[in-house]
Amino acid sequence: MSQQKAVRIDLFDFKSIPMRTFHMTWFAFFLSFFGWFAVAPLMPLVRHDLGLTKTQIGNTIIASVAITIIVRLLIGWLCDRFGPRRTYAALLIIGSLPMMAIGLAHDYQSFLLFRLAIGAIGASFVLTQYHTSVMFAPNCVGTANATAAGWGNMGGGITQMVMPLVLAAVMSFGFGESLGWRLSMVVPGVLLFLTGFAYARWTKDFPQGNMDELRAQGLLPTRKQVKGSFRAAMKDHRVWALCVIYAASFGVELTINNIAALYFTDQFHLSIAAAGLVAGLFGLMNLFARTLGGFFSDRCARGNGLRGRVIFLGASLFIGGLLLMVFSRMTVLPLAIAAMLSFALFIKMANGATYAVVPFINRKALGAVSGIIGAGGNVGGVLFGFLFRDDKMSYMDGLFYLGIAVAVTAGLSLAVKFSVEDERETKEAFDVARARRLEVVALG
């Protein structure tokens, strides 16, 4: 099975199953993230239109992240049973519906329910990481996972920039602000709906083919045989350590995506468009920052094996927490932007480094492991959201305490250890994959 995995990332290859799946996966996740946070840059208008208080806005932020915890756990289980292709397609199509319908919200309660429903699309992350994990060999799986997730997460930044432009285009037809933000949300919904059908059409579950075909050939465990995979993942303390680590790193990213536009509007008195542009820079860091996390993790694995991956993860998260504390104290706009980009680099590298470790925890329960750890990121987003719903807590103080929590959590990386046998098997697979890559490069 592993012999057919890709040993390098050829971005201009759209024909091979691994690379075609890679491109479809990151693009689907990009649109998912775009739609998930599409309403965030429009929140100043929504706040005025629906008369929302700071506490109510905080509740909607929490709701948009909370539902994903449950759905990510479910999605990981579904991946192990039905495969990523059909599961991803179904999530995209179903998740697009509340996105297109959020314009029907007329008060706080209905808006809260729509935000809750839209949050389910965030489970697409687990599918993205599962699908790239099974398509790439150990020598480049960290980079592949991190790049697909990073380019997908970039949607959270692009939406900060694009949605105000979509709003302006809608309003140019004579619609007011109230109807304008509602119609604008139809755009990402339609794109997700169409992408769901494209995903089912143009991807495969594995490099060798789809899950049902491989099970019929006896190359994969049956659904009954993977029944205990979720239980096995639950019993592994390393899964929970990585779950908390990801709660700290990705939880911060979710929180910043939700509050950045409001933060720069209120703290530095920027317009909606300007605040969206500045906030979008945070998300744009995913273009390369998360990829760097996976790339350096793969490099650390060359000489130090799985232990090297874990050490890099802990160091990235710790530095990211310190820089977040620095960002929280900035009162001059250029310095605040510089500090934001600095902490974003290390936080996003930690995100990438986490899922460079995940494929090696339990190969027989990859979906369950990915789902539990991915859900941790949303648990962090929910818990951090409570810091920003209290009228007595300023955004600056909330970010400072957040930085402390992130730095402390980095210590949990010490609990992620691998046996001598795991290290040996992984090194052998790594060396084989590197040798195959050299052969591919030599052959042109």
Residue 259 confidence (pLDDT): 85
What are the Cα distances from residue 169, in Å, to 23, 39, 98, 175? Answer: 29, 16, 22, 10
Is the pLDDT at 283 greater than 80, yes or no? yes
Structure tokens at 424: 């040996």
Is the pLDDT at 106 greater than 70, yes or no? yes
Q: Tell the burial category of 108 from Cβ atoms under 10 Å away from its Cβ (0-12, 13-18, 19+).
A: middle
Percent of the chain whose predicted confidence (pLDDT) is above 90: 69
Q: Which domain holds residue 158?
A: 11-217+225-442
Kindly state whether residue 56 falls inside one of the protein's structural domains: yes
Residue 58 confidence (pLDDT): 84
Average pLDDT over residues 155-167: 89
- φ, ψ dihedrals at 83, nearest 5°: 90, 155
pLDDT in tens, 182-198: 999 999 999 999 999 99
Q: What residues does 136 pair with on adjacent strands? A: 6
Average pLDDT over residues 291-310: 95
Residue 320 confidence (pLDDT): 97
Scan for tokens 């680590």, then name that residue.
245
Angle, nearest 10°, between helix axes 141-153 and 333-357?
140
**Predicted confidence band of residue 80 (pLDDT cuts 50, 70, 90):** confident
Residue 203 confidence (pLDDT): 96
Scan for tokens 């996003």, then name that residue.
348
Is the pLDDT at 358 greater than 80, yes or no? yes
167's CB contacts (< 8 A; 6+ apart) are: 42, 45, 180, 181, 184
Structure tokens at 305: 């094996």
Angle made by CA atoms 121, 125, 128, in degrees to the nearest 5: 120
Is the pLDDT at 2 greater than 90, yes or no? no
Structure tokens at 256: 């910043």
pLDDT in tens, 220-250: 877 776 676 788 889 999 999 999 999 999 9
State which of 71-85, 332-346, 391-405 shows the largest mean pLDDT: 332-346
Kindly state whether residue 433 falls inside one of the protein's structural domains: yes
pLDDT in tens, 373-399: 999 998 998 888 888 877 788 889 999
- DSSP of 37-67, one letter per residue? TTTGGGHHHHHHHHT--HHHHHHHHHHHHHH
pLDDT in tens, 4-34: 899 999 999 999 999 999 999 999 999 999 9
For 141-204, what is the HEC assignment?
HHHHHHHHHHHHHCHHHHHHHHHHHHHHHHHCCCCCHHHHHHHHCHHHHHHHHHHHHHHHHHCC
Number of neighbouring beta carbons within 10 Å of residue 197: 12
Is the pLDDT at 433 greater than 90, yes or no? no
Question: What length is written for the chain?
Answer: 444
Average pLDDT over residues 142-162: 90
pLDDT in tens, 242-264: 999 999 999 998 888 878 888 89
Structure tokens at 407: 């730095």
Q: How many domains, in total, are found in the chain?
A: 1
**Rounded CA gap, 401 and 396, in Å?**
9
**Rounded CA gap, 383 and 406, in Å?**
12
**Rounded CA gap, 262 and 409, in Å?**
27
Average pLDDT over residues 367-377: 93
Kindly state whether residue 1 falls inside one of the protein's structural domains: no
pTM: 0.86
Residue 226 confidence (pLDDT): 67
Question: Please, are residues 208 and 219 in contact by the beta-carbon 8 Å criterion?
Answer: yes
Q: What residues does 46 pair with on adjacent strands? A: none
Nearest to 142 by CA among 381, 308, 276, 29: 308
Is the pLDDT at 1 greater than 70, yes or no? no
Half-sphere exposure of 160 (CA within 13 A, CB side): 26
Question: What percent of the chain is helix, strand and coil (3-state, nearest 5)?
Answer: 80, 0, 15
Of residues 372 and 440, more confidence is placed in 372
Number of neighbouring beta carbons within 10 Å of residue 188: 28
Is the pLDDT at 127 greater than 80, yes or no? yes
Is the pLDDT at 444 greater than 80, yes or no? no
Cα radius of gyration (the chain) = 21
Question: Please, are residues 30 and 154 in contact by the beta-carbon 8 Å criterion?
Answer: yes
For residue 309, which amino acid is it? R
For residue 383, which amino acid is it? L
Residue 117 confidence (pLDDT): 96
Nearest to 138 by CA among 441, 444, 437: 437
Kindly state whether residue 139 falls inside one of the protein's structural domains: yes
Structure tokens at 252: 């911060």
Average per-residue pLDDT for the chain: 91
Residue 342 confidence (pLDDT): 96
CATH number of the CATH domain containing 254: 1.20.1250.20
Residue 3 confidence (pLDDT): 60
Question: Please, are residues 135 and 144 in contact by the beta-carbon 8 Å criterion?
Answer: yes
Kindly state whether residue 133 falls inside one of the protein's structural domains: yes
Kindly state whether residue 4 falls inside one of the protein's structural domains: no
Residue 112 confidence (pLDDT): 96
Q: How far is residue 194 CA from its own chain's centroid?
A: 21
Question: Please, are residues 238 and 367 in contact by the beta-carbon 8 Å criterion?
Answer: no
